[in-house]
Chain A
Amino acid sequence: EAGVAQSPRYKIIEKRQSVAFWCNPISGHATLYWYQQILGQGPKLLIQFQNNGVVDDSQLPKDRFSAERLKGVDSTLKIQPAKLEDSAVYLCASRSGELFFGEGSRLTVL
């Protein structure tokens, strides 16, 4: 069974630029999550989708972060404009029972 796919694995941008991350969950998984993990900390939930609807986005900084899950499958997370403190690993996870995580996208903002 294929796992959760994420791209790109690494991205370096300058502050005030924009960036987008893509996630392809495990086939058939209705629930999808985006987490932000800053170095030395545990993952922090940004947004949770159930199919193509948002279940929880209370921790998403909506002035600069946006996420969508069109057609209830793939998802994209966008940051515009990026700040230095956005440097982190962005993890996508999907669930049918237990959560399965992708390897993450590491963002460095200079």
Chain B
Amino acid sequence: DAKTTQPTSMDCAEGRAANLPCNHSTISGNEYVYWYRQIHSQGPQYIIHGLKNNETNEMASLIITEDRKSSTLILPHATLRDTAVYYCIVRVAGNTDKLIFGTGTRLQVFP
């Protein structure tokens, strides 16, 4: 079973920041928070991951609360191409681990 809770859908205006929340209240100390997104008719795409520190890359920023029970994915300047389903996943990193997907958040970016 997925160990995360996300809103079903969100809207965001183009050019504005999109903030996607995720609750993972049962996360263990050795579990990372991963974010993937799936654009229509494509396979999921890796965005970012973190353990307890905030992370930033060229796609997004990840803010993890101090108690690690929730996190927020931030797309700083959303574009129409960011319209997708965003999945928040907790995962123990290792050679035999696997990703368990929930239903994700459907983000609609509008002009």
Name A residues whose Cβ lies closer than 8 Å to a Cβ of B.
4, 30-31, 33, 35, 40-45, 48, 50, 55-56, 91, 93, 98-104
A95: min CB distance to chain B, Å: 9
Whether A42 and B104, one on each chain, are in contact in the complex, defined by CB atoms closer than 8 angstroms, is yes
C-alpha spacing A35/B100, complex, angstroms: 10
B99 within 8 A of A: yes
Name B residues whose Cβ lies closer than 8 Å to a Cβ of A.
2, 36, 41-46, 49, 85, 87, 95-96, 98-104
Cβ of A43: which chain B residues have Cβ within 8 Å of it? 44, 99, 101
Cβ of A30: which chain B residues have Cβ within 8 Å of it? 95
Whether A103 and B96, one on each chain, are in contact in the complex, defined by CB atoms closer than 8 angstroms, is no
Q: Which residue of B lies closest to A92 (CB)?
A: B43
B106: min CB distance to chain A, Å: 10
* Residues of A contacting B: mostly: strand
Q: How many A-B residue pairs lie within 8 Å, measured between CB atoms?
A: 50
* Residues of B contacting A: mostly: loop
Whether B101 and A42, one on each chain, are in contact in the complex, defined by CB atoms closer than 8 angstroms, is yes
Q: Which residue of A lies closest to B47 (CB)?
A: A98
Whether A45 and B98, one on each chain, are in contact in the complex, defined by CB atoms closer than 8 angstroms, is yes
Contact among A31, A98, A104 with B95 in the assembled complex (CB-CB below 8 Å):
A31
Whether B101 and A50, one on each chain, are in contact in the complex, defined by CB atoms closer than 8 angstroms, is no
Contact among B41, B46, B98, B103 with A41 in the assembled complex (CB-CB below 8 Å):
B103
